[in-house]
Amino acid sequence: MNTHFFGDTAILLGRSLRHITRSVDTIVTTAVTPIAMMLMFVYVFGGAIDTGTHSYVKYLLPGILLITVASGIAYTAYRLFQDMRNGIFERFQSMPIARSSVLWAHVLTSMVANVVSLVLVVGVALLMGFRTGASVPAWLGVAGILLLFTLALTWLAVIPGLTATTPDGASAFSYPLIFLPFVSSAFVPTGSMPGPVRAFAEHQPVTSIVNAIRHLFAQQPVGSDLWIALAWCVGILVVAYYFSMAIYRRKIS
């Protein structure tokens, strides 16, 4: 059964990736907005923002990476919606394939596309002067957090992809996720925020994830931020996966 599932997922993943390679502009577009934000904040606002660091791009990059992922998963929801609307799921249902492999193919395609976008953003950050003395284990830690965050948000994107009634509705859910880093420690320290805003910023998932990545880049102890970040990512992943599979089973039953 496992071999059947993995084989089916690999075949459907190849199908989804071929669609991505035919529209590389979607990956580039996903990276353009975060890169534009990074350029604007560093070169326009950076000189007026006091973060206590010498390099604002170094302070800013973790939050920009999360915005990149939030932008990218909108395309996952859109692609799922299109497959639902075009009857692709019904066609797959009539074939002797593992049913969950259809969703997993979309999820893994999202992972690949987002990794490419993240690499593009990091490349531009390096051109802008981003430097880090992070060791290989620290870089692996950053990659692990970003991959887990991407996986969690991708399964979250599956829900509107399966339930939306319009293409705009399928992708619009990502807008609050893109906005969330602005009310966190991604752009400015939370200590500079008014009381209620600061309380929200310090207890929402983006702040702990950003802080953990920032500490890893700076080769500083991550403290409790890492475990809080992992707990948020795993929690979102488990809940999103459960509801996604429940909705999918109801849709194809």
Q: So where are the chain's domains?
A: 2-252
Q: Which helix (H) or strand (E) is 220 found in, with range?
A: none
Residue 46: per-residue pLDDT: 74
Structure tokens at 147: 């991959």
For residue 236, the tally of other CB atoms under 10 A from its CB is: 18
Secondary structure (3-state) at 245: helix
Report the distance separating Cα 253 and Cα 67, nearest Å.
Answer: 35
| CA nearest neighbour of 103 among 236, 26, 8 | 8
Q: What does DSSP assign to residue 43?
A: I
Q: What does DSSP assign to residue 129?
A: T
According to DSSP H, which parts of the chain are helical?
2-22, 24-40, 56-85, 88-93, 100-127, 136-163, 167-172, 174-179, 195-202, 205-217, 224-252
How far is C-alpha 3 from the chain's CA centre?
29
Structure tokens at 182: 């602005």
Non-local (6+) Cβ contacts of 188 within 8 A are: 49, 51
| CA nearest neighbour of 244 among 120, 132, 157 | 157
* Sign of the CA dihedral running 137, 140, 145, 146: positive
What's the average pLDDT block by block, 10 residues per block, for the chain (253 residues)? 65 74 70 90 80 82 94 86 73 63 85 91 94 93 96 93 84 85 91 92 95 93 92 96 90 71
For residue 192, the tally of other CB atoms under 10 A from its CB is: 12
Secondary structure (3-state) at 253: coil
Residue 249: per-residue pLDDT: 83
Core vs surface per residue 61-73: b (16+ CB within 10 A) or e: bbbbbbbbbbbbb
Whether 34 contacts 121, CB under 8 Å: yes
Structure tokens at 72: 């990218």
